[in-house]
Amino acid sequence: MEINKALFDNLQNFFGFDNFKGDQEAIITNILQKKDTFVIMPTGGGKSICYQLPALMSEGTALVISPLIALMKNQVDQLRAFGGTDSIAHFLNSSLNKADTLKVKQDVSDGETKLLYVAPESLSKQENIDFLRGLTVSFVAIDEAHCISEWGHDFRPEYRKIRQIINNIGENIPIIALTATATPKVQQDIQKNLQMNNAVLFKSSFNRSNLYYEVRAKRNVLKEIVRYAKKHAGKSGIVYCLSRKKVDEVAEALRLNGIKALPYHAGLDSKIRAETQDSFLMENVDVIVATIAFGMGIDKPDVRYVIHHDIPKSMEGYYQETGRAGRDGGEGSCLAFYSEKDIDKLAKFMKDKPVSEREIGTQILKEVIDYSESAVCRRKQILHYFGENFNEMGCNSMCDNCRHPKKYFDATQPLLQALKFIQDCGEKFNDTYIINLMMGVDNTQISLHEHDKLPVFGSGAEQGELLWKSLMRQAVLNNYVQKDIDSYGLLKLTKLGTAFISNPTTIKFMMNNSMEALEDENEDSHQQGSSMDTELLKKLKDLREKISKKNKLPPYVIFQEQSVEEMCIHYPISVAELKQIQGVGSGKAMKFGPPFIELIKSHVKENDIDRPVDFVIKSAANKSAFKISIIQNIDRQLTLGDIAASKGLTYEEILKEVESIVGSGTKLNLNYYIDDIIDEDRQDEIFDYFRTSEVDSVDLALSELGKEDYTREEIQLMRIKFLSEFGN
């Protein structure tokens, strides 16, 4: 009873709360009784109080091991603000200078410090181990404990040394390990590594009922993010990107459009990062754009939305990052943009890693792909990943999949086929193998096992790959089979699966989202209430033809078809607005834009047209630093192959970049390169073709000029030269 009374007194006196949330009281009591404790609690569940309060009530200093310097500073500031002295909590990490470090150690030695936050790298230094050995350590709290497991999303080798270091510091020191994301496999890994198999486990539900989850196909992503932030003006948000370059680009675009936004990544000076974090907490800034890899150690309860510009590398990462929204229980929206190109990039990052690491990474990434493409309730999928069963009826339409009508198919026979194959073939294959088998994909693996001779080989080809992907995903989600994580995702029958084989019942599954259909849907949503003005389209095309005849150029050199059509939706009435139209850069806007702008202005005035407000999404100058360096390299007359190599691009990618630069209105002189690889006569013939052609399609030019006579590269290069010389 005394512990309970002291607990509530301290909770009220120090933190100002009247009641504990969930398992907090039981967890704290367990630590005060010097028992090892393992806490799996979602972001926003109140993990920090679970070690902060017992530290304040225990003799000595509690060590808190955390990988995030930003989070350490944030928590130390909060503890001091709650009414403690400046010495009640300290952190020890690489951001401190020598004088600061000495001050921290002095306060700890004097017994004034109840919580000492330590980075795992600092903990492993011998001088710090020697220092800690002389102290009374009340207990060790290991935050972000998933970093211990190579199956976790933020695996850090230093974390695997923690147990050994604790043994060096002292005997029988209690441990509390805490994480917001642990699959059953990661949980087992943590307990084994920390030698705490007898720890009392407290596992809260992973369901964050106030969060809304949505995945969109990636298209015009920058415009969509700016639109979203403008729609939620004044609310706090975080945008995650995979690269620092993209972080800077998105933050700049938001700022240009009147949104208070700042970038946050490891390439910035630590002082700037600290100032950025404080600005966000003090609400001087609404949006932080950050790299996923660096992480955001920000304990801000009222983040209203989290956007993933790029799909994350793992479901753990996705869950933890989206978990930063709505920690106060209020509104929280989680929007992720998905494209197969992003997945290809992530897969490329893994190709040079050791085989076992690559296998693990591939399996973890596949879960993200399945989540993004599936039409099943997003919440059900997330919770299943963390070993929790959930009935999608409880989602209350708090995800895009539950809000939209589903397309179902009869899964009875195909499920029976798949389960029988798993049973007959000894549970030795994963879902990709089974999908390929049913589709009749004749690959090496299938041939090696001679499964191309089985009656099921190719039996599902007519039903299509989308159906089989949908089926295998839902067979796992509905517990007919389970993935053996240790064996890289091989499928094992469950009791339910075995029972279904013996007694099949009619069952319907949902068809996966087709990403192409999603892209079309996205495109439709962009144009909602913005149907094309056909009267203006005719006027603009007439003007374009008049200008093209005057200049003796094909119409597409003036403005391409899609650019003219977009003008009839957004009604640009200034050069700045015209530059936002797809395929129109500064050069084209200045050279050909004025008469088009005047025509649109008078059309808008005559017809009293209410222009779409959200169109005016300004972007940074089209010539980014990346494009400028390509232009400079061309000015220095480097070959395109050399430029591609220096930028880490393929030859096809550098051609696309050059096409984009020229298409935006910048004049480039590639004669030094073209003259070297294409004869003058051949150049003239391709040039003559583009002079008379109504469209600038490379495929059509190749077909008209003859594939046996010309290469795609020659056509592309000459098209670039033609557009540069006559259009810019």
Interval 137-166: pLDDT, tens: 999 999 888 888 876 666 777 888 889 888
Q: Which residues of 497-520 are buried (b: 16+ CB within 10 A; e: fewer)?
A: beebeeeeeeeebbbbbebeebee
Q: Are 498 and 453 in contact (CB under 8 A)?
A: no
- pLDDT at residue 623 in the model: 47
Mean of pLDDT values over 698-708: 82
- Distance (Å, whole) CA 727 – CA 557: 5
Which token pair is 87? 């010495």
Largest pairwise CA distance in the chain: 97
Name the pLDDT band for 618 (thresholds 50, 70, 90): low
pLDDT(613) > 70: no
pLDDT(614) > 70: no
Angle between helices 355-373 and 465-477 (to 10 degrees): 100
Sorted by sequence, the CB contacts under 8 Å of residue 391 that are 6+ apart come out as 380
Which token pair is 673? 């390169």
Q: Are 485 and 189 in contact (CB under 8 A)?
A: no
Q: Helices H, strands E: what count in the chain?
A: 35, 17
Cβ–Cβ contacts within 10 Å for residue 547, how many? 17
Which token pair is 573? 């009435």
Lowest mean per-residue pLDDT among 35-39, 591-595, 625-629? 625-629
- Distance (Å, whole) CA 368 – CA 313: 7
β-strand partners of 142 = 65, 177
- pLDDT at residue 393 in the model: 82
Name the pLDDT band for 174 (thresholds 50, 70, 90): very high
Q: Are 589 and 559 in contact (CB under 8 A)?
A: no
Which residue is it, tokens 């989602």?
395
- Distance (Å, whole) CA 311 – CA 297: 20
Which residue is it, tokens 């001088």?
127
Reported residue count of the chain is 728
- Distance (Å, whole) CA 539 – CA 519: 30
Model confidence pLDDT, tens digit, residues 194-236: 898 889 999 888 899 999 999 998 888 888 999 899 889 889 9
> HEC states along 11-28?
HHHHHCCCCCCCCHHHHH
> HEC states along 108-143?
HHCCCCCEEEECHHHHCCHHHHHHHHCCCEEEEEEC
- Distance (Å, whole) CA 289 – CA 471: 37
Q: Are 286 and 235 in contact (CB under 8 A)?
A: yes
pLDDT(701) > 80: yes
- Distance (Å, whole) CA 720 – CA 691: 13
- pLDDT at residue 296 in the model: 55
Q: Are 25 and 7 in contact (CB under 8 A)?
A: yes
How deeply is 664 buried, as exposed, middle or buried, from its count of CB atoms within 10 A (0-12, 13-18, 19+)? buried
Cβ–Cβ contacts within 10 Å for residue 604, how many? 16
- CATH number of the structural domain 2-203: 3.40.50.300
Mean pLDDT taken over the chain: 84
Same fold flag, 408-515 and 625-727: yes
- Distance (Å, whole) CA 533 – CA 256: 28
What letter represents residue 493's amino acid?
A: L
- pLDDT at residue 294 in the model: 52
pTM, rounded to two decimals: 0.64
- Distance (Å, whole) CA 467 – CA 510: 9
- The third-level CATH classification (topology) of the domain covering 408-515 is Arc Repressor Mutant, subunit A (1.10.10)
pLDDT(526) > 70: no
| DSSP character string of 624-673 | -HHHHHHHHHHHTT--HHHHHHHHT--HHHHHHHHHHHHHTT-----HHH
Q: Are 89 and 76 in contact (CB under 8 A)?
A: yes
How deeply is 193 buried, as exposed, middle or buried, from its count of CB atoms within 10 A (0-12, 13-18, 19+)? middle
| DSSP character string of 239-254 | EEESSHHHHHHHHHHH
Q: Could you report how far apart the first and last alpha carbons of the chain are, in Å?
A: 83
- Distance (Å, whole) CA 634 – CA 672: 9
Mean of pLDDT values over 347-356: 74
- Distance (Å, whole) CA 566 – CA 537: 9
Q: Are 203 and 145 in contact (CB under 8 A)?
A: no
Q: Decide which of 170 and 151 is more confident.
A: 170
Find the helix or strand (DSSP H, E) in which 516 lies. Answer: helix 515-526
Which token pair is 74? 């944030």
Domain extents for the chain? 2-203, 211-403, 408-515, 530-615, 625-727
Which residue in 539, 541, 538 sits closest to 559, CA to CA?
541
- CATH number of the structural domain 625-727: 1.10.10.1390
- Distance (Å, whole) CA 340 – CA 121: 36
- Distance (Å, whole) CA 113 – CA 86: 9
Pairing of strands 408-410, 236-241: unpaired
What are φ and ψ of residue 571, in 5° steps? 50, 65
| 3-state secondary structure at position 2 | helix
Mean of pLDDT values over 451-462: 92
Mean of pLDDT values over 58-81: 82
Which residue in 608, 582, 600, 578 sits closest to 591, CA to CA?
578
Percent of the chain with pLDDT over 90: 28
Which token pair is 155? 């695996």
Mean of pLDDT values over 26-55: 88
- The third-level CATH classification (topology) of the domain covering 530-615 is DNA polymerase; domain 1 (1.10.150)
Model confidence pLDDT, tens digit, residues 18-32: 788 888 999 999 999
Which token pair is 720? 């670039």
- CATH number of the structural domain 211-403: 3.40.50.300
Model confidence pLDDT, tens digit, residues 468-509: 999 998 999 888 998 886 676 789 999 999 999 999 999 989
pLDDT(41) > 70: yes
Lowest mean per-residue pLDDT among 117-121, 279-283, 617-621, 656-660? 617-621
DSSP state of 284: S
- pLDDT at residue 175 in the model: 93
Q: Decide which of 398 and 85 is more confident.
A: 398
- Give the residue ranges of DSSP H helices in 259-411: 270-281, 315-322, 340-350, 355-373, 378-385, 400-403
pLDDT(168) > 60: yes
- pLDDT at residue 528 in the model: 40
Model confidence pLDDT, tens digit, residues 427-438: 888 888 999 999
Angle between helices 698-705 and 712-727 (to 10 degrees): 120
| 3-state secondary structure at position 724 | helix
- Distance (Å, whole) CA 363 – CA 491: 13
- pLDDT at residue 228 in the model: 92
- Distance (Å, whole) CA 280 – CA 149: 31
